Chain A
Amino acid sequence: MKTSTHIMGRRIAGALLIVGLLSGCAGLRPYPNTMGKNLHIQTETDSGSIFSKVRAAVDIFSVNADCTPEYQGTVKLKAPSIDVGISPNELSYMVFVFSNSSFLANSRSSISHETLLKTRAGYNYDIKVSYIDDIYDVSIEENHQGSSKSREIELRNLSTCQSL
């Protein structure tokens, strides 16, 4: 009995570990998204296989004066687009996460692409997010409201925070 309990315990522990690892969402919470919408995020995903699926999401962090990111929440990126609001004139850190799950191999993996972004009041930002056949890309374009002027924003990692 002790042995079967031990085995059962191991099975439950194993199952919980699997759920925890494979869910990949421990500690994640939805981003409140209550501010004025200044980000227009277009998303396109295609795993290239009927046996796997790709999901895209963005984790949004505020960034303190000492360049420490503070997690604000996660937005699931659904095609074709979603509007998100972040604080203008403040530094944000955005981590785009692509999660790939394969049904046949019973495996799940994720890869991320991150950038610092300081939005400006009076500007909108078009963000294109794609994951097609195992190649992903994130590009950001800044557009002045009421004019056709736009410029591409270079992606910056967190280590460049001090220089911004």
Chain B
Amino acid sequence: MKKLIAISILIPGLVSMLTGCGSMPLTADEFRKAAPKAMTGEVATFEVDRPFQAVAETFNKKAPACLNKTVTTTSSTPGKYGPVVSTYTVTYKPTVLLGREKVELHVQHHTDNALKVYEEPAGGYFLLVADAYPIEENKTRIDMYRPAIGHKTLIKAVEGWSTGKNVGCPDLTQ
């Protein structure tokens, strides 16, 4: 978990360095453009056998319930004078934009007391953006702009919300 916490904190910096843009995405659209170019980001496109409206409803229901959270993790490592306790507090902010031909899910996160080299948008750095488009009556396409390292639980949850097969919440501490 400590590794994941470190990755979570480092990802914004890594994305920026690897894209060479010298700044962090401040909007979802900037994040969509930056993610494919970054070694720590990727784009996954897949189709689900589910009506667009059903995917939209699941995003709209689950994102606020599951992702509107502040998570504190604590770990300890042996130190010279006893255990060293590290505590990190991360606040997640989901946004769902419902449209007739597109639904967007944005996930941002803010880490308390983390070193901020780059400007942070309101709500925190972008972590994941998922766009859903209707294809056919029973088919929906998902474009997911996401981290390539870590945050597998969040990604798994959003995939589950898309397919409708597992609509639980991600344990954001993992």
Across the interface, which residues of A come within 8 angstroms of B157, CB to CB?
135
Least CB distance, B112 to chain A, in whole angstroms: 16
- Identify the interface centre among A11, A14, A22, A111: most chain B CB within 10 Å of its CB: A111
- Identify the interface centre among B75, B87, B172: most chain A CB within 10 Å of its CB: B75
Least CB distance, A76 to chain B, in whole angstroms: 19
Q: When A106-B75, A111-B173, A135-B157 are in contact, do A17 and B168 touch as well, CB less than 8 Å?
A: no
- CA A18 to CA B82, docked complex, whole Å: 10
Interface residues on B, range: 20 to 34
- The chain B residue sitting closest to A54, CB to CB, is B171
Question: A42 contacts the other chain (Cβ, under 8 Å)?
Answer: no
- CA A18 to CA B157, docked complex, whole Å: 32
* Count, A-B residue pairs, CB within 8 A: 81
Q: When A18-B83, A106-B76 are in contact, do A155 and B169 touch as well, CB less than 8 Å?
A: no
Contact of B169 with A109 in the complex, beta carbons under 8 Å: no
Contact of B171 with A107 in the complex, beta carbons under 8 Å: no
Mask, B29-61, CB within 8 Å of A = 1, is 000000000000000000000000000000000
- The chain A residue sitting closest to B154, CB to CB, is A134
Question: B153 contacts the other chain (Cβ, under 8 Å)?
Answer: yes
- The chain B residue sitting closest to A7, CB to CB, is B81
Interface residues on A, range: 20 to 34
Question: A100 contacts the other chain (Cβ, under 8 Å)?
Answer: yes
Identify which of A7, A14, A21, A131 contacts B74 (C-beta below 8 A): A21
Across the interface, which residues of A come within 8 angstroms of B75, CB to CB?
105-108
Least CB distance, A46 to chain B, in whole angstroms: 12
Contact of B168 with A110 in the complex, beta carbons under 8 Å: no
Identify which of A15, A22, A135 contacts B156 (C-beta below 8 A): A135
Q: When A135-B166, A137-B167 are in contact, do A11 and B81 touch as well, CB less than 8 Å?
A: yes
Question: A125 contacts the other chain (Cβ, under 8 Å)?
Answer: no
Residues facing A in B86-135 (CB within 8 A) are 87
Across the interface, which residues of B come within 8 angstroms of A106, CB to CB?
75-77
Least CB distance, A146 to chain B, in whole angstroms: 31
Least CB distance, B170 to chain A, in whole angstroms: 6
Question: B174 contacts the other chain (Cβ, under 8 Å)?
Answer: yes
Across the interface, which residues of B come within 8 angstroms of A155, CB to CB?
65
| Interface of B toward A, CB cutoff 8 Å | 1-2, 65-66, 69, 71, 73-77, 81-83, 85, 87, 153, 156-157, 160, 166-174
Contact sample, A vs B, 10 pairs, CB 8 Å cutoff? A7-B81, A11-B81, A14-B85, A15-B82, A105-B75, A109-B74, A111-B173, A133-B156, A134-B153, A136-B169
Contacts A10-B81, A11-B82, A134-B174 known; list 20 others, CB within 8 Å: A18-B83, A21-B85, A100-B171, A102-B1, A105-B1, A105-B75, A107-B73, A107-B74, A107-B75, A107-B76, A111-B69, A111-B71, A111-B172, A135-B160, A135-B166, A135-B168, A135-B171, A136-B169, A137-B169, A155-B65
A-B CB proximity, top 7 nearest: A14-B82, A137-B168, A109-B173, A107-B75, A135-B168, A11-B82, A134-B153
